[in-house]
Chains A and B, each alone.
Chain A
Amino acid sequence: MIKFFLMVNKQGQTRLSRYYEHVEINKRTVLEAEVIKNCLSRSKDECSFVEYKDFKLVYRQYAALFIVVGIDQTENEMAVYELIHNFVEVLDKYFSRVSEFGLMYHKILQEILKTCCCTDLFLRQFFQPYFCYI
């Protein structure tokens, strides 16, 4: 199960956050800060999965942007790792350039991750509804 999805820049500022389990808003800030600290402190040749409290973080870096996904113990880390990439690819296709800019990501994310599980992402099908929404 996916617990949250974060996009952070290198300065540690949150650019996008989405929680799939309710977290108090003031606790979110604390959690995000810790999560970011955990991920930013790791070097490139260290592995992309971090244990944090009782869950795991899977992160991936795109230039100045970090995408961090919090998952529970039952999830397949590698699958989530690739899911991040899939997400970015879709963003890239749609926005032509993935930047730190962020609100519309939400809508795409909403399509990819339904009820905190990774659903398959089918580009064709994905764009259909997306056009509908805008």
Chain B
Amino acid sequence: MSDVVERTLSALPGLLGQHDPGAGPGGAGGPGRVSASSRLGSLIRSITALTSKHEEEKLIQQELTSLKATVSAPSTTLRLMKECMVRLIYCEMLGYESSFGYIHAIKLAQQGNLLEKRVGYLAVSLFLHENHELLLLLVNTVVKDLQSTNLVEVCMALTVVSQIFPREMIPAVLPLIEDKLQHSKEIIRRKAVQALYKFYLIAPNQVQHIHDKFRKALCDRDAGVMAASLHIYLQMIKENSSGYKDLTGSFVTILKQVVGGKLSADFNYHSVPAPWLQIQLLRILGLLGKDDPRTSELMYDVLDESLRRAEINHNITYAILFECVQTIYTIHPKSELLEKAAKCIGKFVLSPKINLKYLGLKALTYVIQQDPNLALQHQMTIIECLDHPDPIIKRETLELLYRITNGQNVIVIVQKMLDYLKEGQEEYAIISLVGKIAELWFIQTMNAVFSVGGDVVHSDIPNNFLRLLAEGFDDEKEDHQLRVYAVQSYLALLEEEDKLYPQKFLQVMSWVLGEYFSLVTDVDPEVILTKLHSLLKKTFVTSETKAWIMAAVTKIASHTSCSKTVDEIIQELSSSLDTCLRQYAFELKHLCEDKALMKSLLPFDASCSDLVVDASLSFLDGFVAEGLAHGAAPYKPHHQRQEEKLSQEKALNFEPYGLSFASSVSSSGVTGRQSPTGLSFGSDISGNSAETGHKETNTLKLEGVRKLWGKEGYLPKKENKTGKENEPQAVPCGSLLAGQVGEAPALRPEQGASLSEEDKEKQQLASTLFIGLGASAGVSLMGKADTATQKFKRKSKITETHAASNFDPLLDTVPDNVEDSEGSVHTGLRKGSPSSSDTVEDNLAFETPQSLRKSVLDDRISANRLSQSSLFADSNIEIFQPSSSAQCESASETPLVPSLPEELEELPHSEVVGLCQSDALALHLCKVWTDDSLLLIVFVSNKTTAALHAVNLVFEETEHFQILESATSHFPVIEAQSVEHCQKCVRMNKVCTQAILPASVSYQSEMETCLEFSVTLSLMDFIRPMEMTTEDFGKLWLSLSNDVKQNIKMSPCQDSLSAALDTLQQKLKLHRVDVIGNEGILACQLLPSVPCLLHCRTHSGMLALWFRSPCAALPDGLLYQCQKVMEES
């Protein structure tokens, strides 16, 4: 210890005695006793004496008020302030905000003497958080203390920095702290390393340059400094293990020394040398040795040694062993070590000590992914743990089972999980477990999941479930069975009159009953109706659920001749307060009067057949014509009305245009899939706008739903599993059900000999749980499978493929906009599905149409940004891809072949065309359309055999165009027979459909010559697609004022909207934002960033175009272009 410290220490007692004999344990005054006279002491004592929370609150508030007065009084001494601060800390710790004291804590740290400073720092680190603004005020104090000659002050400053420091101020202290790494006192070095570790955590980039010094710290002669540096290394290796492989040797040596007891006895904890240090090192080694046989080789010895040394029975050695086991199973395996580790796990798992058992299960869970055989060894223990009274152990066991779930044991494991669920845990546990169960699925389980998990179940799950039922599988008979089973089970569930079911479950029930009730022949529909009726009367049923029920009633009613219950329902609901229900009742009533219509409206089992929705409501044309003839006002679409209203009222309208679209997107996306509440009976008689066809419906949204469920259950799970369980795959699946009672795979014969009844049960459970694990597994199953399992037995791979190809319709319903520019991707996916070799990829693709779509779109967007050639990939603008033939051609014309520089070749560009030529030189031009500009590349080729001097190219500024940077280019010399080029970036200043950009070139050969030429630029050279969402479009639309409308006739060959949109998109580079029914919206921008929005609607052979833009001339220009391309095509 240095002199300074010693002197400080010796001074302390006096200091303390002098200042404050009461508060805080004096260094010399006998540790640990807070004096009775201290105010903190009395505060604590009075709080402890209180019995109710209310009293405590009162007391603390009182205390805080008095403290507030004291700390803000100018007469308060620092000593008193320190005393107050201590009490404030206590109050804040009890959960009472004392923010008025924060600033005083900082002041105290700034101004106090050692002890006061210490309390100030402590208070700051407890009160403030990383982003607190007051923290900045501390920086100066820290800097000052870091420079102090008093070691204690330096220590304090370093301590606070390692706890809390504002990230942006790191540079202010970093050099000071770096210096401290060379300090002579090890405590300072250690604290400096800890502070740097903190910096590394919050701002890794700032300490990058001191990595070398970390290495020095790792080799520090003081073990404390070395240990502190390990934290940094653990973190760094976690992020990038490959960069530190060379340190493996050092870590191994350190661990060897620690394990060998080379450290001083001070480091021992219960005679185990530096246990936490060992754990840290083992973790580092695990990270380094992962998937790296060579590095792993280095550490086998020391791991073996660690295992051997940690044989004392003490908790801390168990902790070390656990870490060892994890490391051994993480690094490249060595059988000898694995064996020892497995033994270790066995010891843990079998231990009567509950904490150890927990640790063992945790280790087993980790290990089991690498080596499922280990589970077999311990299967009986696992079974016992399953029934352990401690729910935590149970949960850990379930976690373990979850990892070994396969097709054959899924039923038993799910059952176990459900049992656990029924014991009623906190919500968080339910959510996580329900998620797991959902992956391991069958109907009965789903029922249980729904009723237990209730409304916390994610809405995807019921939707997926219904879709699975509706779409069915390849086998009609099985589908039938499945549906019948579902209907029966729901009827049975509804039998119990007063049971409360979650809303989602009721919705699922009513949908299934409505859709498939007729499959069950032995039940009178009247019975079902009665049940639904009684449900409708229940108060706990929400109106959303009631709507589902009504839809079911309607469906059932259509297949029964008049029913009393239906009449009753109609009567009751006709006077319902809920307008939605009333509407349903009236619809039902009218339908009941016309059975034939009802039958055709609600065909049986048509949930999968696509309905053709006449969104234009053309069948109402007659009605409209009649109305108009009688003097009715023509219908205006909603947004038009809104517009007009807006312009009349001159008021702000906050209703975004996109809203009506957004709501209609969802419903039109469901291309006619019959869904419970989505039955539109065409009651809106309001003309021929698309909006009416798309009233917001509360449909079962099948489109956006991820395809999670397949024939076999949860699809992604299956994908993962196919690799893992090659073994069971090969086993004939019949064996699962055949009821062959053979010997359970891993049961040892001697075990079976003397089995009590209970043990037998357990073994049976074991064999069902662990089936499918290990090499000999999967041959037999003792448990009898029930009927439900029959339907869900594992199928061979081929069936799976069929199931996959069944999902085809899904992609067909992906909205059109996906198809536009990457049609190839789309069809590629569709074609891919039937080939069994690609099953995995296909399935994956089908599972996530949503994300697929997203990613495809993303790809497209990024592709647009990155490789510009795709920008115009589908447009027919001539993209000149230099082919050999083209080059030959041009070569025959002129000996000099101008070609684009490489970096521009990638971009979309026009052909190189001749501009003008004289005897001496020729000019060629190429337009390059980049994302944000139009580049004109002018090639100047010298045709003569002598060099040309002082070639000047000048573009004239016109009112329409602006040349960015400079309008002239100067070539001092162009060698004989060579080509030079220059590029000009052009903007359109004034909108015009086409204009000429005049230019001239002058050069010096024998005499000064000047050539004039011009470049024709079209509006379309400056138009780029504009990516945006429908919502953005809506907002922007309303904000734009200049609009132009025009109806143009569509040629017969492209009478559909999509054909028209394709044309516009391809030829005019418009971005297709969305298509809804017979309306489409497109967006583009005039460079640099003037948007123009286009709304198109088709009706009776006409295409109504409606442009809007902030620039008045732009819509006209674009309209002209549109007319042109539409005529051309």
Contact = CB atoms under 8 A, between A and B. Distances in A.
Q: Say whether A associates with B.
A: yes
Contacts of A28: 95
Given A95-B25, A103-B86, A14 B201 contact: no
B48 to A, nearest CB: 7
B354 A45 contact: yes
Interface in B20-42: 24-27, 31-34, 40
Interface string B376-396: 000000000000011011010
A123 B266 contact: yes
Contacts of B279: 76, 79
Interface string A61-103: 0000000000000001111011101100000001111001111
A118 B275 CA distance: 11
Interface residues of A, number: 58
Contacts of B269: 82, 86, 121
B826 to A, nearest CB: 39
A70 to B, nearest CB: 14
Given A79-B279, A81-B315, A82-B316, A46 B27 contact: no
Contacts of A95: 25, 31-33
Given A95-B31, A104-B24, A25 B358 contact: no
A110 to B, nearest CB: 7
B95 A32 contact: yes
A79 B275 contact: yes
Interface in B387-423: 389-390, 392-393, 395
Contacts of A76: 279, 319, 322-323
Contacts of A102: 44
Q: Is the interface of A mostly helix, strand, loop or mixed?
A: mixed
B1059 interface: no
Contact of A101 (B44, B390, B428): B44
B126 interface: yes
Contacts of B70: none
B16 interface: yes
Nearest to B125: A110
A129 B319 contact: no
Nearest to B223: A122
B316 A14 contact: no
Select the residue from A94, A107, A119 with max chain B CB neighbours within 10 A.
A119
A115 B392 contact: no
A122 B266 contact: yes
A96 B32 contact: yes
Contacts of B194: 114-115, 119
A97 B392 contact: no
Contact of A134 (B26, B392, B428): B26
A106 B159 CA distance: 13
Contacts of A122: 223-224, 266-267
Contact of A96 (B31, B152, B227): B31
Nearest to A91: B32
A119 B231 contact: yes
Contact of A115 (B5, B162, B277): B162
Contacts of B395: 51
Contacts of B32: 94-97, 104
B330 to A, nearest CB: 13
A73 to B, nearest CB: 10
Q: Max chain A CB contacts within 10 Å: which of B115, B227, B269, B429? A: B269
Interface string A42-60: 0001111111011000000
Contacts of B90: 103
A86 to B, nearest CB: 6
B752 to A, nearest CB: 32
A102 B894 CA distance: 94
Contacts of B358: 47, 49, 77
A48 B31 CA distance: 31
B1015 interface: no
A131 B27 contact: yes
A115 B201 contact: yes
Interface string A10-30: 000110111000100110110
B390 A14 contact: no
Contact of B8 (A14, A48, A132): A132
20 contacts: A26-B95, A76-B323, A78-B322, A82-B315, A85-B315, A102-B44, A103-B40, A104-B24, A104-B34, A114-B162, A115-B194, A115-B231, A119-B227, A120-B275, A122-B266, A128-B187, A132-B5, A132-B155, A133-B155, A134-B115
Interface of B: 1, 5, 8-9, 12, 16, 24-27, 31-34, 40, 44, 47-48, 86, 89-90, 92-97, 115, 118, 122, 125-126, 129-131, 151-152, 155-156, 159, 162-163, 187, 190, 194, 197-198, 201, 223-224, 227-228, 231, 264, 266-267, 269, 274-277, 279, 315-316, 318-319, 322-323, 354-355, 357-359, 362, 389-390, 392-393, 395, 428-429
